Amino acid sequence: MKKSPNGFTLVEVLIVVAILGFLIGIAMPNVMKARSAGQESACQSNMAIIEAAIEQWGLDSNIASGTDIAGNVGDWDDYLRGGILPACPNSGAYSYTGGGTAGTTGNYKVHCSVHGDVN
């Protein structure tokens, strides 16, 4: 049996596969960490957009600072792009902390079930 001058031996192929596996094993945790950080950043941005929509609605509606706006949650939907609440990249749910002093225009909070409150 004659050896082909252009072919690779099984050992050479296995070494290349092992090296590629090792490099992928090193790179994957960093890729996953960067993906997670990106999702958290996008979620924080979405929550800031929601808070800005509430603030703009309050200004346009001449709502005095400190007025309870918990009952008007649906009114500020028009201040979001397409009137649709943004979605969390990690499938979290956004909630509005309303009622009492937490629901006032000067002290409202948007909360994500996965990432927490906006900073």
Contact predicate 46/113, CB 8 Å: no
Contact predicate 17/88, CB 8 Å: no
Burial class (CB in 10 A: 0-12, 13-18, 19+), 92: middle
Q: What is the mean pLDDT of the chain?
A: 78
Helix (H, G, I), strand (E, B) or coil at 30: helix
pLDDT for residue 10 is more than 70: yes
83-114 tens-digit pLDDT:
777 888 888 888 776 544 444 455 667 888 88
pLDDT at 70: 55
45-67 tens-digit pLDDT:
888 888 888 778 777 877 766 66
pLDDT for residue 21 is more than 90: yes
